[in-house]
Every structure is written in C-alpha cells, then in structure tokens.
Amino acid sequence: MRKIAVITGASSGIGKEFAIQISKKYNTIEEIWIIARRTEKLNEVKKEINGKLVRILSLDLSKDADITFYKSLLERQNPSIRLLVNAAGYGICGHFDETSYEDNIGMIDLNCKALTAMTYISLPYMSSPANIINVASSAGFLPQPSFSVYAATKSMVLSFSRALNQELFDRNITVTAVCPGPVKTEFFNIAERNTNTKAYKYLFRVNPKHVVRKALLDSFYFKDVSVYSLPIKVFRLFAKIIPHGILIQFIK
C-alpha cells in the first residue's frame, strides 16, 4: 500500500506551504495528493516539490460530485493515508445581512461540510500512526461581529477536531486543529471583497511558513490545538477567561 499525504486547498497559502514542507520532512510518505480548484496553480506547486510523486486533483470540494470522485479514487487506489491536511476554506468580511446568500452558505459548505466529508471518507484508509490536521482559525475562539459565519465555521472545526482526536486515540491517529491569526496569504483578497477587515489585524499578520512549521511539530507531538505567535496565544487566553460579551464589544 502506497503511503500518501492528502492536502486540500493546496494551490496557495497555508495549503501550499503544507505541501512543500511535508515533501521535505516526511521521508516515509511516497506520494502527495494536492487538491484545489485551480489546476494551473497546482502545477506550480508540483514544480516546487522534489523527491515525491505528486498527484494533482483539480476538485471543487463544495460540490458533491467532486467529493464522490475523491471517494471513488480512494476505492480504486486503496492507499495508506498517513497525513490528511484539510486546508481548503475561505471567509468573507461584512455584516451577515450585507453579504450574499451564496457566500454565507458557501463558507459553511467548504469550511465545515467538505472538511467533515473529506475526513469521514479518508478515515478508513488511515493506518496507525497517522495524523489529521484541520486548519481552523483564531476566529473560532469566540463569536466575531462582521465575520460571524466564518468565525462560526472555524469554531465548529476546532470543536470537531478536539473531540475527534479523543475518539481516534486508540487508533493512534492524532487530530490537530491549527488556529492561526491573520496570515500573509490570498485569504484577504477574498475576505475583503465587500469591506475591509479590522485595521488592527494587519499588525498581526504572519508568514505561513511559520504557522505550518509549528502545526507539523505540534501534530508530531500529539497536540490537539496548534497556535502560532504570542499575540494569538494571548488572545486565546483572553477568550477563555474574559466573558465573550466584553470581547465582542471590543471587536465590534
């Protein structure tokens, strides 16, 4: 059985960085499956990966037909998935009633439904030891006005990941939720389609290389949550000890 890594949202940003770093760090992985909608971008990522077989899957995971294609491919190939990275997702800034129906439902479909489907479909092919890395967000630590649906989807990812990590403990499969703050990626090109994000968030943007390096290390050491940078660690602490009503007013 060929040992593989599967990475969604691999055409850019955090997903791309996962593909590159995994190819360098995991000697036991023989093949990397990179998944995203943009074929040309995936081809560019493939050129940056050396020493591994790379399978490009141009799929839109918000579509049931593309999820079914992935399921059928697993059935035909019967690989051993050693690492699954669910990095596909997006967010849209703005008040709920001022953003489109398609955007709000689309965030739920990709950030939650697709992530859950990819995890469920992949699990039968995961053999011990294995890791699942779900890209959540520090936005999932508490409700966020003007980012309400996105924050809610990432809260779901965080909660789901931590619970699943306990469920899979006896199978020696670790599930880690990655909760970065603002990252220097294409994310904000989409997120700010309708309105600009909060100005203070620009101060805390970090390089995706650092986020991914920390996430892979935390996953290796069986941690259920990975948080990079001191400001975001402090924010997480505040979200635990300060009533959310107070923090929401500050964010607003």
Torsion sign over Cα 239, 111, 128, 15: negative
CB-CB neighbours of 251 under 10 Å: 17
200 assigned to active site: no
Q: Which of 150, 200, 221, 228 is catalytic?
A: 150
d(CA 102, CA 104): 6
d(CA 27, CA 31): 10
Q: Which residues of 150-184 are buried (b: 16+ CB within 10 A; e: fewer)?
A: bbbbbbbbbebbbebbeebeeeebbbbbbbbbbbe
| Per-position DSSP letters for 99-140, written without gaps between them | S-HHHHHHHHIIIIIIHHHHHHHHGGGEEEEEEEEEE--GGG
Tell me the HSE value of 236 on the side-chain side, using a 13 A CA sphere. 18
* DSSP-derived 3-state class of residue 183: strand
- Catalytic residue set: 150
